[in-house]
Amino acid sequence: IQSLDEKQLNVFHRFSQSNSSLKKHRSRSIFSPFFCCFRNYNDYHVEPPPANNKTLSLPPPPEENGSPPKPPAKFLLPEVSITDYGKNCVVIDLDETLVHSSFKPISNADFIVPVEIDGTVHQVYVLKRPHVDEFLQKMGELFECVLFTASLAKYADPVADLLDQWGVFRARLFRESCVFHRGNYVKDLSRLGRELSKVIIIDNSPASYIFHPENAVPVQSWFDDMTDTELLDLIPLFEGLSKEEDVYSLLQNLRSR
């Protein structure tokens, strides 16, 4: 990761660490509030939850006119479409799972996405993980696919437009659909509106699925290794998972190996 300075490198290295000894190195660069890749573990411990966070499980405030309280917040996903009926649901992370993005210009970017931050347009340089096209197409055949990222929609939505040429993602969920829990944006699978025994999450960050580790297919964080074959290597596992009535036993076997 030659393009990153020392401080940013420290943040990256913390992906695989759960300790907080590097807290003092936390960078408040323009990167940090932006990509979810900077969000891991204690990176966001000082940031309050977003004010418009609809995913909080608190009941709505009582209404002025004394009308009865509203039903609980609705599910994150719409009803299953006819084409996806009977399929298991795979929840797919974006940053460091499918792509790696940075503000540092790189000559081999797959996409360059302009994103406005505080009135200034910044170019975001996006690298696709090797075999991501084949992986996404296969996922689209086998599952109901949902993109679920802790990044902001103004970055992740245009990236998803460029990445998903096949319309694989039936829904896209962004930061506001996460639950802010102990300094992390957590993807609470119970809020999707799908049977949990039919839901799989693939994510490079274990903190993202801390509420549902038994539904997870862990994946190594990816930054720029062009020889990486992780996505290709995972396809046989997902082929198996797509045929399971209940994904838990297969995933448990995977964990105990």
Q: Which residues bind Mg ion (CB under 5 A)?
A: 93, 95-97, 204-205
Order of strands across the sheet that contains 199-203: 169-173, 144-148, 89-92, 199-203, 216-218
Q: Closer to Mg ion at the Cβ: 88 or 204?
A: 204
Residue 154 Cβ vs Mg ion, minimum distance, rounded to whole Å: 17
| Residue from 23, 10, 162, 171 nearest 101 by CA | 162
Q: 72 is written with which tokens?
A: 């609980």
Task: Give 168-192 as a DSSP string.
Answer: -EEEEE-GGGSEEETTEEE--GGGS
Q: Closer to Mg ion at the Cβ: 73 or 153?
A: 153
| Residue from 18, 88, 113 nearest 245 by CA | 88
Residue 79 Cβ vs Mg ion, minimum distance, rounded to whole Å: 27
Residue 129 Cβ vs Mg ion, minimum distance, rounded to whole Å: 11
Q: Closer to Mg ion at the Cβ: 95 or 144?
A: 95
Query: Out of 5, 43, 93, 188, which one is annotated catalytic?
Result: 93
> Is position 93 annotated as part of the catalytic site?
yes
Q: 229 is written with which tokens?
A: 């074959």
| CA torsion through residues 192, 198, 204, 206, sign | positive
Query: Out of 43, 95, 164, 203, which one is annotated catalytic?
Result: 95
Q: Closer to Mg ion at the Cβ: 141 or 223?
A: 223
Q: 207 is written with which tokens?
A: 């903190």
Q: Which residues contact 130 (CB under 8 A, 6 or more apart)?
A: 225, 226, 227, 228, 229, 231, 232
> Is position 164 annotated as part of the catalytic site?
no
Residue 40 Cβ vs Mg ion, minimum distance, rounded to whole Å: 8
Residue 206 Cβ vs Mg ion, minimum distance, rounded to whole Å: 10
Q: How far is CA 255 from CA 67, 93, 238, 249, in A?
A: 49, 20, 15, 10
Q: Closer to Mg ion at the Cβ: 88 or 97?
A: 97
Which residues form the catalytic set?
Answer: 93, 95
